[in-house]
Structures are given as C-alpha cells and as structure tokens.
Amino acid sequence: MLAFLAVALVKIVVVFGCLLLTVAYMTWAERKVVGDLQVRLGPNRVGPFGLLQPIADGIKLLCKEEIVPSHADRAIYLLAPAISLAPAFIAFAVIPFGDTTTLFGLLREPVAMVITDINVGVLYIFGIASLGVYGIVLAGWSSNNKYALLGGLRASAQMISYELSMGLSIVGVVMLAGSLSLVDIVNAQARWPFVVPQILGFGIFFCCALAETNRAPFDLPEAETELVAGFHVEYSSMKFAMFFMAEYANMITAAALATTLFLGGWRGPFLPPLAWFLLKMLALLYVFIWIRATLPRFRYDQLMAFGWKRLLPLALANLVIAAAVAPWWR
Amino acid sequence: MELLLFLVLAFAAIVAALLVVTHRHPVYSALFLVVTMLCIAFLFLLLRAEFLWVMQIAVYAGAVMVLFLFVIMLLDLRREERPWRFPEHRLQVGAGVILAAALAAQLLVAAVAVRAPAGAGPFPPAVVAARGNTQLLGRLLYTEYAFPFEVTSVILLVAIVGAMVIAKRRSD
Amino acid sequence: MAVPLPAYLVLGAILFAIGVVGVATRRNVLIIFMCVELMMNAVNLTFVAFASAFQALDGQVFVFFILVVAAAEVAVGLAIIYGIFRHRETVDVTDMTLMKG
C-alpha cells in the first residue's frame, strides 16, 4: 500500500513538473514559431535564442502590482484562476506516456508509465473537460465588469457547445477500441493508429480542441480587440499569468489526448515510447501555433453556427462510419 | 481507510449542503451545491459505481450547475433578504424546519434499521470487477431497461424543444 | 473496514432533510430549485448504496435515469424561471402568487 502510494506520488511529481516546464516553454515556442511564420525573429535577447524569456516573463508577472477591483467578489475573484488551472493538470492523470519502464533497470519490477489507469479513462476526461468551464464563468462574473461578464458567458457557451462534438468524436474511437481505458485504446492501435479509419473524427476532435482551449481561430472570448480582452480584463500579474498557464496547459492536454486517442500514443518503431509520445504531441502543438498564426478569428455567431450546425452532424456521421468499421477492425 | 474517506466526504457534503441552504447569495449557493455534488460523486466512487461517478461530475456538476450559474448571472440576482426579518416568514421558516426534522427522524429510524441482505446478488463485486461496471451497466440498459432508455431519449428531445419554445422572445 | 449500509442511508437522509429545509424556507426560486436538486442527489446516493449492498446494478440504472431526467427538468425549469423573470422582474416566490400573466 505504501509502495503504491510512493510510486504514484513520484509519478505525479514528475508529470506535474514536466507539465509546468512545458507550459512555460510553450510560451517561448509560440512566440518563436509565430515570429518565424511572420518572417521575423521571435524573442532572442534574453539568453541564447531567447530561451530564458519565459523565466523573465515569470519574474515580471510576479513583480507586477496586484489589483483587485473594488466591489469585485473577492473570494471568487481570487479562486477563479486556480479553478481554471486545476482541470488542465488533473486530466493528465490518465494519459499513458509509455508502456512500462524499469528506469534503466533501477526498479525491481516494471512500473506502468501512466499515473493511474482508470477503466473509465475517456469518461474521466469528459468530466474534467466539463469542469473546465467554471474558471472562466466565475472569473467573468466576479470581476464586477460588464465586459468581463459577457466575455465569460460567451467563452463558456462556446466551450460547452464544442464539448458535445468532441465527445462524439471520441465515442468513435471508443467503439473501435472496445474499451474506455486510455491504456487499452493505445494498445488497440498496435497495427494502425485510429487516425486511419477515423480521419473525420480526428479532424472534428482537433477543431473542438481549438475551440475548447479558446485558441485561434476560436479565440474571440479572449482576444484583445474584442470586449477588451474578455473575461480576464480585470486580472493583473500572477492571476493573469495563471489564466495564461491554464490556456497553455489545456492546449497541451488536448494535444496529448489527440495523440493518445488518434495517433497511437507512444507507439512507434525505433525510438523509445516516451520519445514518440513527445514527438507526436509537439507536432500537434506546432499545428496549433501554426493555425493561430495563419487563420483570422471567427465572429461569435459564426463560431456557434459552426459548432452546432456543421460539427455536430459531422460528428454523428463519423459515429456511423465508426460503427461500420468497428466489426472488422477488432 | 474506506471509513475515513467516507467520513471526510460525508462531513464535507453535509457542510456544503448546509451552506447551500443558508447562504444569502445565489451564486455562492450554486458553488456550494457543486461541492456537494462532487462529494456525492466521490461517494459513488467509494461504492464502486465508476460510471455514475463520472456521469455525476460530467452531467450534474459540469453541465446542470453551469446552466444554473448562467441563469443566475444573466438575471443578475442580488443577495436575498433574510426571511427572519419579515414576521410572516418566521412562522414559515419554523414550520419548514419542524417538517424537515420530522422527515429526517422518520428516515433515520428506517435507515438505521436496514440490514444488507445476507446472500450474494446477481452482480457480486468479483463479477463487476472482472467485466467492468460500465460494460455491465450498458448491457443492462440495452436489454432489461431498453424501453425506459428509449423513453428518456424522447424526454430529452421534449425538454430541448420545450426549453427553446419557453425561453424564446416573442417577436410580436 | 468497509462502510456499513446504514451509514450511507443516514447521510442520504440528512442531505434530503437539508434540502427540504431549503425548499420550505428560501424565497429565491432559483435556490429552491437548487435544493430540489440537492434532494435528488441524496436520493441518488441512497439508490447507489442499496445497489452496492444488494450486489445488483438496478439501483445504478435507476440513478442513470434520474440523472438524465433531472438534467432535462433543470433545462425546462430554468427556461420557465427565465420567462417569469422577464415578465415580472422578480425571482421572489412570495411575489409569484398569481397564476395570471
């Protein structure tokens, strides 16, 4: 029992630490890649290739003045960034990074490279995704600012609309794999990754992931030119940084999920499993950033129409395709 | 260990429920209700009902309460006046508490007297652990309870259409 | 040590009673609605506790249905409340004493 707890704790600390580091360097990567696509250098002054930029940004944000608006609902105002951040990290508890490892022979018996393999892993992800709405709604409301409230409500309406299609696209994968456990889903992709029969599902999942994480072109709720930066208009310094971190963490979670569900997770021929997982995840994150640099923003009504009138019927059609493919896939 | 978890969750659920009922501001009530629902979700997990654990979080805490919060925020509600301020409400509050206490007393007497049946039921823990709670529940839903399942889909359709019709602004 | 069945039932009973107090006492119709949801959650807990004690899954199936129906009910109920608010500008139940309008 104690050994189990100790192993779990070590895994949690390692994954959490790596995730925080990745979130920090995603900000750097985003600025560099967007700069590259816009034919300019990104940050390159702070450290070689600007690699210390996230640290500089972190120090700057920590040192900024903490402003709490008057008549803001103080408790919720201070809690909202944390509520926004938590689901992004919690979702990583079920994602498998590799098969089993003995840490190059250091451990007596192999340890699975997943924090916990719940047998309703996919449903767990649904639940956590639906909890992610609270941070934004509460942030918008507690700021005692009409723009923030409207921005928050719009953002959360967007998120719950796209959750539906995301769920349906994942159901296709579950049908092919025959199990809700993410480890089983990765193991079921031994011959071909699920992107092959479910290319439509992958496309839908990707669009919904963009919308769920409020990334361009669905980033209306937080764009600077719309509603004065929407739901986090009244937030300064570290709390704003936490919203930012939450967005990047959500992005990383979505990319990790997409690789696990559609691209075969850690499976791949020559490299070690963890390397494949990171490669696939980073490729998807590059696509996220590439799309942001390329596409213009949707208007809110276009956004909602796209989610309900286009993606939802497509997701249902994808379900039919998955049902047709499933018998001879298994 | 399980008992300790149960006691912690039960205490948290009761405290949060009391705060739902007594707090003046609707948004705080809603948030404490979310806490209560999460505690109940983890109690489901303690009872090995994994599917319901996730459904409680995803549907109740994640969707229904978000809907509540939306409506509260859209209606821009303020804090409520204390019922004890208005004399006619004191009687109402007193009657309500007495009624609830009587109900609770009856339920507690019944609850304490219940004993779990001695023999094994159709789905003992070993079978459920082997096959999976979700899989067995799914099988039950599509075989024995297929008709209620189809009826619930009709209920959902009616609810969607009804909510839209009621909330629509008349254009006359 | 496993948790005995009466413990869950007592917890369900207490939560239900708290919900009843809420419905009988509060004046804000949204909070009354929330207390009804609290009562339903208490009932769900009781169902699942019984399902676990009887080693049958019927209790869980019933909770599934309650969950679905409660979600549908909340949607329609909130639409009604929103409609009433639009017309009367109040969510105080003591002001909603007329069926007219």
pLDDT tens column, B27-36: 999 999 999 9
Quote ipTM for the complex.
0.92
With a pLDDT cut of 70, the percent of chain B lying above it is 93
Instruction: Please give the tally of structural domains in chain C.
Output: 1
3-state secondary structure of C92: strand
Query: Are C and A touching by the rule of 3+ CB pairs within 8 Å?
Result: no
Nearest CA in chain C to B144: C58
Of the candidates B6, B107, B160, which has its C-beta nearest C3's C-beta?
A: B6
What is the reported pLDDT for A60?
87
CATH entry, B1-102, from 1.10.1740.10, 3.10.20.600, 1.20.120.1200, 3.40.1160.10: 1.20.120.1200
Question: pLDDT tens string for chain A (330 positions)?
Answer: 788 888 889 889 999 999 999 999 998 999 999 998 999 888 888 888 888 888 888 888 888 887 888 777 788 888 888 998 999 899 989 999 888 777 766 777 777 888 888 889 999 998 998 998 999 889 888 887 777 888 888 888 899 899 999 999 999 999 999 889 999 999 888 888 888 888 999 999 999 999 988 887 888 777 655 556 567 777 777 888 888 888 899 999 999 999 999 998 888 888 888 888 999 999 999 999 999 989 988 888 888 999 999 999 999 999 999 999 888 887
Q: What are phi and psi of B118, to 5 degrees?
A: -75, -50
For chain B, what are the domain ranges? 1-102, 131-172
**DSSP letter string over A96-134?**
---SEE-TTTTSSS-EESSS---TTHHHHHHHHHHHTHH
Q: Which residue has the higher pLDDT, B81 or C30?
A: C30
Flag whether residue A73 sits within 8 Å of chain B, measured between CB atoms. yes
Instruction: List, for residues C25-35, the tens digit of each pLDDT value.
Output: 888 889 999 99
Flag whether residue B63 sits within 8 Å of chain C, measured between CB atoms. yes
Cβ <8 Å between B62 and A124: no
Helix B26-46 to helix B2-22 angle (10° resolution) is 160
The tokens for A21 are 């580091």
What is the reported pLDDT for B171?
63
Nearest CA in chain C to B118: C54
What is the overall mean pLDDT for chain B? 88
In a domain, C101, yes or no: no
Flag whether residue B50 sits within 8 Å of chain A, measured between CB atoms. yes
Instruction: List, for residues B140-158, the tens digit of each pLDDT value.
Output: 999 999 999 999 999 999 9
Nearest CA in chain C to B84: C25
Amino acid B165 reads V
Nearest CA in chain C to B70: C78
Flag whether residue C79 sits within 8 Å of chain B, measured between CB atoms. yes
| CATH number, domain with residue C23 | 1.10.287.3510
Predicted TM-score (pTM) of this structure: 0.92
Instruction: Categorize the per-residue pLDDT at B85 as very low, low, confident or very high, splitting at 50, 70 and 90.
Output: low
Which of A71, A83, A117, A119 should one mutate to test binding to chain B, selecting the residue with the greatest count of B CBs within 10 A?
A: A119
Cβ <8 Å between C24 and B141: no
Which residues between 6 and 65 in chain C have a beta carbon less than 8 angstroms from any beta carbon of chain B? 6-28, 30-31, 33-35, 37-38, 41, 44-45, 48-49, 51-58, 60-61, 63-65
What is the reported pLDDT for B114?
83
What is the reported pLDDT for C100?
65
B117 to chain C: which residues are within 8 Å by CB? 53-54
Quick one: which of A152, A99, A85, A156 has its CA closest to A304? A156
